[in-house]
Amino acid sequence: MGLSVLARNLPYLAGAFALTLETAALVIVGGTVAGVLLGLARSTRGRALRGAVALYIGLIRGTPLLVVLFVVYFAVPSLTGHRFTAYEAAVIGFIAFIAAYIAEDVRSGIRSVPRGQIEAALASGLSRGQVVRLVVLPQAIRRMIPALFNQFVRLLKFTSVASAIGVTELTGATLAVNAREFQPLPLLTGLALAYFAACYALSLVGRWLNRRYAIPG
Amino acid sequence: MNYSFDWSVLWRYREQLLGGLVITLLLSLMAMAGALAVGVSAGAAAESERPLLRRIAAGYVEIARNIPLLVHLYFWYLGLTALKIPAFWCGVLGLSLYSGAYVAEIVRAGLQGVPAGQRAAGLALGLSPALVLRLVVYPQALRIVAPSLAGLFSQLIKDSSLASVISVTELTFVAGAIEGDTFRTFEAYIGITVLYLVLATTIAQVTLWTLRSELVEPAMRD
Distance CA A134, CA A118 (A): 10
Per-residue model confidence as pLDDT tens digits over B89-133? 999 999 999 999 999 999 999 998 899 899 899 999 999 988 998
Whether the Cβ atoms of residue B47 and residue B111 lie closer than 8 Å to each other: yes
Question: Domain count of chain A?
Answer: 1
Residue B36, domain CATH? 1.10.3720.10
Residue A217, in any domain of the structure? no
Min Cα distance B27 → chain A (Å) is 15
Q: How many residues does chain B have?
A: 222
* DSSP-assigned states of every residue in B104-118: HHHHHHHHHHS-HHH
pLDDT tens digits, one per residue of A83-121 = 899 999 999 999 999 999 999 999 989 888 898 999 999
Contact call for residues B114 and B120 (beta carbons, < 8 A):
no
| Of residues A193, A99, A206, the one with CA closest to residue A155 | A99
Q: What range defines the domain where residue A187 resides?
A: 2-212
Does residue B94 form part of some domain? Answer: yes
CB contact under 8 A, B189 and A74: yes
Residues of A in contact with B70 (CB under 8 A): 160-161, 163-164, 171
pLDDT at position A193: 96
Reply yes or no on whether the pLDDT at A149 is more than 90: yes
Angle between helices A184-212 and A170-181 in degrees, nearest 10: 160
pLDDT above 80: residue B215: no
Which pLDDT value is given to residue B221? 47
Report if residue B1 sits inside a domain. Answer: no
Please report the pLDDT score of residue A77 as a whole number: 84
pLDDT in tens, B159-205: 999 999 999 999 999 999 998 888 888 889 999 999 999 999 999 89
pLDDT for position A1: 56
B154, B181, B183, B189, best to mutate vs chain A, most A CBs in 10 Å? B189
Side chain identity at residue A25, one-letter code: A
Give the separation between CA B24 and CA A36, rounded to whole angstroms. 33
pLDDT at A112: 87
**Residue A150's pLDDT band (boundaries 50, 70, 90)?**
very high
pLDDT beyond 90 at B157: yes
pLDDT by residue (tens digit) across B45-96? 988 889 999 999 999 999 999 999 999 999 999 988 888 899 999 999 999 9
Q: Determine, for residues B68 and A189 on separate chains, whether the beta-carbon distance falls below 8 Å.
A: no
Query: Is the pLDDT confidence value at B212 over 80?
Result: no
How many other CB atoms sit within 10 Å of the CB of residue B15? 9
Enter the pTM of the model.
Answer: 0.89
Structural domain boundaries enclosing B55: 8-221
Taking contacts as CB-CB distances below 8 angstroms, the residues of chain A near B197 are 59, 62-63
CATH code (residue A199)? 1.10.3720.10
**How many domains would you assign to chain B?**
1
Residue whose C-alpha is closest to residue A97's, from A124, A73, A127, A61: A61
Buried b (16+ CB within 10 A) or exposed e, A127-149: eeeebbeebbbebbebbbbebbb
From chain B, pick out residues whose CB is under 8 angstroms from the CB of A80.
1
Enumerate helices (H) and strands (E) in chain B, giving the number of each: 11, 0
Sequence-ordered list of residues with C-beta below 8 angstroms from that of A79, at least 6 positions apart, any chain: B1, B3, B186
Interface with B, mutate which of A170, A188, A195, A203 (most B CBs under 10 A): A188
Of all helices (H) and strands (E), which one includes residue B210?
helix B185-212
Chain A / chain B CB contacts < 8 angstroms: 116
Q: Which chain B residues in 22-81 lie under 8 Å from chain A, judged by CB atoms?
A: 62-63, 65-71, 74-75, 78-81
How far apart are the C-alpha atoms of A182 and A63, rounded to whole Å? 34
